[in-house]
Amino acid sequence: MLIDMHVHPIFYGPICNDDAELENRKNAFGVWKQGPMDFEELFAEWDICGITQAALLPLDLTTTAGCWVVDNDQVEALCGMNPDKFIGFASVDPHRPDAVDVVRKAFEEQGLQGLKLNPAKQKFYPNDPVAEPIYKLCEQENKPVIFHSGLSWEPNTPTKYCHPIAFEEVLIKHPNLRVCLAHFAWPWVREMAMLMIKYPNVYTDTSLLYVDSPEEQMMELFTKDMGPMWFERCFPEQVMFASNGPRFRAFKLKRALDKVPMRDFARENLYYKNALRFLTGKGCNHYGRGEDDPASE
Amino acid sequence: MVVVKTIRHLSKAVSEFYNITEQVHGIVEKSGIKNGFVAVITSHTTTGIMVNEALPCVEQDLSELMDKLVPLNEPYLHAHFLPTYGATSNNSQGHLKSALTGNHCLFPVLDGKIVCGGAQEIYLAEYDGPQARKVFVEVMGE
């Protein structure tokens, strides 16, 4: 079992019927020289590395760019086509006046299972009061939030909004909210590690491949940027497999991670168990902390 | 006269040799061109067009030779973020194997058929799959 917790379905064929919309998506997201793909091509790649499910992430840029990079309705439609394979997330622009209503609809009517926000692209600090009602709703509905964190390649994305330390007050204020700071907050890996040690409700993922080959970057991440035992010893329930498709190819990251030394329990956590905990809140025992996740049933 | 057709193929593995011989012969025979040339050209830079004997042992030897010549884990320069793509390049192995293989092959056409040796089969060589691939078959003549 392998769950890819970070996929942007920008080029998924069934939602690529409008050329102008696709062009807007590409320019807003900052990805070019790729085109629509059908599910057969997508699943061929899944099959060679064993991916069984993937979290699909939209992004609402209503007030900052006047568009979405895939909207909630499109994610709902894609999930309806492959309900066993796709885990649909919602997004919302925190600045829009109906933000809470959009999120409530996504959770209660559209069956979406979490929320994706990108503070750099959506222009808000994570601790901005404008986002508070959204966080409270996610806590009430037991839905996790994935934030973009660290380097963002998307155009017009000041990194100051996505430094991992900018999220700390949210973690303090919302100890029951499961939060993923994606991409290991690269290049701030040690700050990310610090947050995971300190806050059991924060997660991260492996979707970074900015400077080297997959083998080199994953080995650097798990054995040099961090000490080689940090993941297993300190936060084995807080790191999830993710690819950030279409920026990085999932099977190459999986191939590279397979070569990183780690115990079997840690690898199982990395490849799917942590994703299941993050998504549901069930089974969180906060490794070595002697407490249960308050959100679990 | 010139006739151009496209062969489409979804590769299902990182590396594979996909035999397109029958498709190319079929395109030539349906083209209406009696005498001339046929060119088979890949539209990608991490695939190749190869002519060889379609035996599993030959395919295996070719595959192993390619991996020896172009290993996966070498300090290639083409392994970094590419601004023009918004994605990371990490397929140097595919590019180099493609360069060694070549992007096309050419056969004479006589009396409406390809002229070739009995062991000459045409492959689309995939080196960075799985991906949807295109091969152009251009028949030129009269």
A176 touches chain B (CB under 8 A): no
Q: Is residue B78 part of a domain?
A: no
Contact B20, B38 (CB under 8 A): no
Residue at A108: amino acid letter: E
Half-sphere exposure of A179 (CA within 13 A, CB side): 30
Residue at B104: amino acid letter: H
- pLDDT grade for A290, boundaries at 50, 70 and 90: very low
Cα separation of B128 and B97, whole Å? 10
Give the pLDDT confidence score for residue B88 in this predicted structure: 86
**Which string of DSSP letters, residue by residue, matches B67-114?**
HHHS-SSS--S--SEETTTTEE---HHHHHHHHHH-SEEEEEEETTEE
Task: Tell the burial category of A18 from Cβ atoms under 10 Å away from its Cβ (0-12, 13-18, 19+).
Answer: exposed
Nearest to A211 among B12, B80, B87 (CB): B80
Closest residue on chain A to B15 (Cα): A48
Nearest to B86 among A40, A45, A247 (CB): A247
Q: Inform me whether the pLDDT recorded for A32 exceeds 90.
A: yes
Interface predicted TM-score (ipTM) of this complex, two decimals: 0.91
Q: Inform me whether the pLDDT recorded for A288 exceeds 90.
A: no
Give the pLDDT confidence score for residue A285 in this predicted structure: 56
pLDDT digits (tens, 9 = 90+) for B90-122: 899 999 999 999 999 999 999 999 999 999 999
Which region holds residue A56: left if phi is over 0, alpha if psi is between -120 and 50, else beta? beta
- The number of folded domains in chain A is 1
- pLDDT grade for A72, boundaries at 50, 70 and 90: very high
* Contact list, A153 vs chain B (CB under 8 Å): 81, 86
Cα separation of B37 and B104, whole Å? 13
Q: Inform me whether the pLDDT recorded for A286 exceeds 80.
A: no
Q: Inform me whether the pLDDT recorded for A287 exceeds 70.
A: no
pLDDT digits (tens, 9 = 90+) for B1-58: 999 999 999 999 999 999 999 999 999 999 999 999 999 999 999 999 999 999 999 9
Give the pLDDT confidence score for residue A283 in this predicted structure: 79
Other Cβ atoms within 10 Å of B56 Cβ, number: 8
Closest residue on chain B to A36 (Cα): B132
Closest residue on chain B to A35 (Cα): B132
Q: Are strands B121-126 and B113-114 parallel, antiparallel or unpaired?
A: unpaired
A27 touches chain B (CB under 8 A): no
Q: Is residue A295 part of a domain?
A: no
Using alpha carbons, list the distances in angstroms from residue B62 to A177, B42, B54, B99.
54, 19, 11, 15
Using alpha carbons, list the distances in angstroms from residue B136 to A85, B27, B35.
34, 11, 19
Mean pLDDT, residues A213-218 taken together: 96
Contact A156, A66 (CB under 8 A): no
Q: Inform me whether the pLDDT recorded for A297 exceeds 60.
A: no
Q: How high does pLDDT run on average in chain A?
A: 94
In the structure, how many helices (H) and strands (E) does chain B have?
Answer: 3, 10
CATH number at residue B125: 2.60.120.460
Q: Is the peptide bond between A14 and the residue preceding it cis, with omega within 30 degrees of 0?
A: no
* Contact list, A213 vs chain B (CB under 8 Å): 73, 76, 79, 90
Cα separation of A149 and A116, whole Å? 11
Q: Is residue B54 part of a domain?
A: yes
Q: Is residue B86 part of a domain?
A: no
- pLDDT grade for A262, boundaries at 50, 70 and 90: very high
Q: Is residue B53 part of a domain?
A: yes
**Measured in Å, how far apart are chain A's first and last C-alpha atoms?**
23
pLDDT digits (tens, 9 = 90+) for A139-152: 999 999 999 999 99
Give the pLDDT confidence score for residue A153 in this predicted structure: 87
Other Cβ atoms within 10 Å of B16 Cβ, number: 17
Q: Inform me whether the pLDDT recorded for B123 exceeds 50.
A: yes
Q: Do B87 and A246 touch (CB under 8 A)?
A: yes
Q: Do B13 and A48 touch (CB under 8 A)?
A: yes
Q: With CA atoms as reference, report the closest residue to B5 among B26, B27, B22.
A: B27
Contact A103, A110 (CB under 8 A): no
- Residue of B9, B90, B126 to mutate when probing chain A, most A C-beta within 10 A: B90
A43 touches chain B (CB under 8 A): no
Q: Inform me whether the pLDDT recorded for A117 exceeds 90.
A: yes
- pLDDT grade for A210, boundaries at 50, 70 and 90: confident
Q: Is residue B83 part of a domain?
A: no
- Positive or negative CA dihedral for A87, A126, A221, A293? negative
Q: How far is CA B57 from the centre of its chain?
A: 19
Closest residue on chain A to B90 (Cα): A213
Mean pLDDT, residues A46-70 taken together: 97
Q: Inform me whether the pLDDT recorded for A296 exceeds 90.
A: no
Range with lowest mean pLDDT among A95-99, A122-126, A232-236, A289-293: A289-293
Q: Inform me whether the pLDDT recorded for A177 exceeds 60.
A: yes
Task: Tell the burial category of A275 from Cβ atoms under 10 Å away from its Cβ (0-12, 13-18, 19+).
Answer: buried
Half-sphere exposure of A122 (CA within 13 A, CB side): 28
Return all residues near B44 (Cβ < 8 A) that are at least 6 apart: B98, B131, B133, B134
Sheet with B113-114, edge to edge strand ranges: B2-10, B132-141, B36-42, B104-110, B113-114
- pLDDT grade for A295, boundaries at 50, 70 and 90: very low
Nearest-neighbour CA in chain B from A76: distance (Å): 26
Nearest-neighbour CA in chain B from A146: distance (Å): 21
Phi, psi (deg, nearest 5) at residue B140: -125, 130
Q: Is residue A292 part of a domain?
A: no
Q: Inform me whether the pLDDT recorded for A212 exceeds 60.
A: yes
Q: Inform me whether the pLDDT recorded for B135 exceeds 50.
A: yes
* Contact list, B81 vs chain A (CB under 8 Å): 153, 210-211
Q: What percent of chain A has pLDDT over 90?
A: 93
- The number of folded domains in chain B is 1
Q: Do A41 and B73 touch (CB under 8 A)?
A: no
Mean pLDDT, residues A234-247 taken together: 97
A210 touches chain B (CB under 8 A): yes
CATH number at residue A120: 3.20.20.140
Q: Inform me whether the pLDDT recorded for A66 exceeds 80.
A: yes
Q: Looking at per-residue confidence, does A211 or A76 come out higher?
A: A76
Cα separation of B60 and A130, whole Å? 61
* Contact list, B85 vs chain A (CB under 8 Å): 31-34
Closest residue on chain A to B81 (Cα): A210
Cα separation of A29 and A122, whole Å? 12
Q: Are strands A67-68 and A86-88 parallel, antiparallel or unpaired?
A: unpaired
Cα separation of A149 and A164, whole Å? 6
Q: Inform me whether the pLDDT recorded for A175 exceeds 60.
A: yes
- pLDDT grade for A284, boundaries at 50, 70 and 90: low
Question: What range does the domain containing A144 cover?
Answer: 3-279
